[in-house]
Amino acid sequence: MTTLSIFDQSQPGVARQVTQDTAEIRELLAEQGVRFEQWPTKDLPDDASQEAILAAYHDEVESLKAECGFQTADVVSLNPDNPQKEAFRRKFLDEHTHSEDEVRFFVRGQGLFYLHFGDQVLSLMCEKNDLISVPDGTRHWFDMGPEPRFTCIRLFSNPEGWVADFTGDDIASRLPRYEAIVGEA
């Protein structure tokens, strides 16, 4: 279930607040300028092609493009049998920012976004049908877990796609990882 946990930077091992209430999640994220929505379910097979996924969510994607000025959309998918899964996970585990909003819509599976605002870190477990838009310049990182299973639509203003500026802060290493939050070994 979609879950928002809030951690204080001074006590990163224990969440001071946890909620699964969608309205509360939306409100708490909106206070930080983060967009959170849940789109209607579309019945697609786990192995649906990028074209099929983009066709199924055509109206929603085009609406976001028109509203926010996004130029491109693509689909990223990762499964536990991917031999590069550990390298992909490491790539996103360090705190970074972007010069454009980072938008992800979860078609299937789940992943954990960490958003760093001042002395607190918001950890959002996104699941199927969740859309998150992290504003440009927001310090954040993403943890897909040791056995990733997700498919996301990504929207970009920059046609070159995902470009990160790493902060060098070690905050990501001090907070619980995906396994601890989800309870996986």
The single-letter DSSP state of residue 83 is T
**Confidence tier at 185 by pLDDT (50, 70, 90):** very low
Rounded mean pLDDT, 143-150: 96
**Confidence tier at 182 by pLDDT (50, 70, 90):** confident
Express each pLDDT in 11-58 by its tens digit.
988 899 999 999 999 999 999 999 999 999 898 998 899 999 999 999
The single-letter DSSP state of residue 135 is P
What is the value of pTM for the model shown?
0.94
Q: Helix H segments across the chain?
A: 22-30, 50-56, 58-68, 85-92, 171-174, 178-182
Binding residues for Fe(2+): 96, 98, 102, 140
**Confidence tier at 183 by pLDDT (50, 70, 90):** confident
* Tokens coding 15: 């969440």
| Domain range for 64 | 3-182
CB 125 within 8 A of CB 184: no
Express each pLDDT in 151-180 by its tens digit.
999 999 876 666 789 999 999 999 999 999
CATH number of the domain enclosing 173: 2.60.120.10
Binding residues for Ni(2+): 96, 98, 102, 140
User: Distances in Å between the alpha carbon of 167 and those of 90, 99, 123, 145?
Assistant: 15, 13, 18, 22
* Structural domain total, the chain: 1
Binding residues: 96, 98, 102, 140
